Structure formats: C-alpha cells, structure tokens
Structure 1
Amino acid sequence: MKTIKMNKVLIALDYNPTAKKIAEVGFSLARAMQSEIILLHIISTPVDYASTAYDPIMGFGGFANLDLHQPDIKQLTNSAFDFLNNVKKHLGDSKIDTIVKEGEYADAILKTANEIKADVIVIGSHSKKWLETILLGSTTKEVLNQSNIPLFIVPTKKKV
C-alpha cells in the first residue's frame, strides 16, 4: 500500500467562538502529520460580523469598528487578517500562512484548497437547527459534497 504524504492542511475558520476549537484541532492534526498550515477566512456577508455577544476570540476583540450598513471591503479584509493573526498567536506558530478571500463560503473554500493544493481541509460543523439547515444549507455539507480533497470535520455542537 502506498503511503500518501499530507503536506498542506487548510483550516477554514469563520468568525464564531467555535473557531477556537476548529483551529486547535486542525493545528494538532497538522502538527501530527508535520504539515504546512494555512488558515483561511471567507468574507461573504457583513452581517456575520455584527454580533456583539462574542467575547474576544483567541485574543481578537471583534469587528466592532466596521460600519456594517456600508462595509468597506478593504477594512473588512484587514480586520479578517487581524483575526487570523490572533489565531496564529494563540496557536503559537508564526510560520502559519493566512488567506482571506471573498465569496460564497463553500465555493471559496474549495477554490482556495485547489489553488494551494491542500491535502486536507479542516472545517467545523456548526449545530444549526434543522430548519436553518434546510433553508440555508450547510457550508460543511456543500464542501463535503463537492470536494475531491479529504475533509476533517470538527463537530462544534455543544454537549447537552
């Protein structure tokens, strides 16, 4: 049997407290495989950044300075890079690469994974209510159905 080397691990993170668990699990996986790590954040809908309920996520205080009624994409991109840089600091590895893209989540994740020739994609599975999943779809499900790259799915549902 031929052994396949996993050289690049792409960790897709949204702006949500669950990003901490996804980043830490993805980082551990990549370290165990001695792989290059790339953190990815997709900018899709500015309203995703509107929550003031989140405490700082891995040291990042949030997107509070943004005007979400008329978002400046450059400012949003810079804030997203700040978020990913705080994730890097939290993980304690300055060699981690960061990428910020715009677009629909699943499409942008898959396109980026193919562009960088990722060997595995680490993504979270949020615990949305069944109606939300039916109406909105699931990014993880879309990536899973369309990907030709292996996925490592991190469940983020709170335990009952």
Structure 2
Amino acid sequence: MKRVIIALDFDPSAQKVAEEGYAIAKALEAKVTLVHVKADADYYSSLGQVVVIGFSGHQKDAGSIPSDAIDPDAISQEFLKKAMLHLADKNIEILVVNGTCADSLIKTVNQLKADLIVIGSHSRKWFENTTIGSVTQKVMLSSTIPVLVIPTNKNFD
C-alpha cells in the first residue's frame, strides 16, 4: 500500500481517526493524505465551538456569524494543517474537496489512486442509519479499495 487517505470531519473523534490512521499508514510506509469534504458556509456558522486537534473554531459567545462572513475553505485548510502539525509529519498532504461527503471522498480516492481509506464511524441512532445511511456506510459500499473504519464511540442508541 503506497497511499492512505484519512477522512476527517470536525467531530471531536477526528483526532482518534487521524492518530490511528496515521499509525497504520506509517507502519505500511505509505504516503498520507488528510482529506476534509467541505460543507456549505451555513454548516460552519452553526458549529458553535469546535475544538478538535488543537483547532478552535467559532466561539459560542461570539454570537451568530452570518454565512457570508464565513470562509469554509480557510477554516477547512486551517483544520487540516493543525491535524498535520498534531501528527508531527510535514510530509503529510492535506486536501479540501467540495461536494457530498461520500461521493467526493470516493472521487478523490480514485483520482489519487489511493490504496486504503481510513474513516471514522460516529455512533448514530439506529433509525438514522436505517433511513438515511451514514457517510461511512456509503463509502464502504462505493469503494473499490479497502476501507478501515475506526470506531469512535462505543455508546449505541
């Protein structure tokens, strides 16, 4: 395996996904690319406080931030740069992509000719998983390469 893609979102579990995915990639002597699929500006303005891998985003006491004042590209780039610094490897590539999460991730994996996808599995309520599915499930069903799912929550509803 020569290239490992680690998919990260702003969930606090992203740190665990990044660390475990990176450890596996290093053991395989593979190149690492951290990928974040960018959402629209409304998502970033509604995050409240985001603290993950040293990233401190919008503060709750800052009030409502209008969507047009948010730069999702800059926020996403900063998030991935801090993840790279946390992993202490300047050779890690970072990539922010647009689109729907699962589809954009699969497209990126194919473009980069990756050999492994590392993604977290957020514990969701059973009803949500059966009606709309999860990004992780969609990636697993669409991928032509192995997908390593890092469980991030043991509490199942």
Shift of 1:43: 1.1
Shift of 1:47: 4.4
- Give the equivalent residue in structure 2 for 1:78: 74
**Which one of 15, 18, 33 corresponds to residue 20 of structure 1?**
15
Q: Which amino acid aligns with 1:9?
A: V
Unaligned runs of 5+ in 2: none
**Which one of 135, 142, 145 corresponds to residue 141 of structure 2?**
145
TM-score where L is the length of structure 1: 0.86
- Give the equivalent residue in structure 2 for 1:69: 67
Unaligned runs of 5+ in 1: 1-5
CA–CA distance in 2 between the matches of 1:104 and 1:67? 23
CA–CA distance in 2 between the matches of 1:68 and 1:103? 21
- Give the equivalent residue in structure 1 for 2:127: 131
After superposition, residues 1-160 of structure 1 pair within 5 angstroms as 6-49=1-44, 50-54=46-50, 56-63=51-58, 67=65, 69-70=67-68, 72=70, 75-158=71-154
Contact 2:40/2:72 (<8 A) preserved: no
Contact 2:38/2:96 (<8 A) preserved: yes
CA–CA distance in 1 between the matches of 2:142 and 2:12? 26
Q: Which amino acid aligns with 2:125?
A: K
CA–CA distance in 2 between the matches of 1:111 and 1:149? 12
Shift of 1:46: 3.8
TM-score where L is the length of structure 2: 0.88
Which segment is superposed worse, 119-128 or 150-159? 150-159
Which segment is superposed worse, 45-54 or 81-90? 45-54
Number of residues paired by the alignment?
152
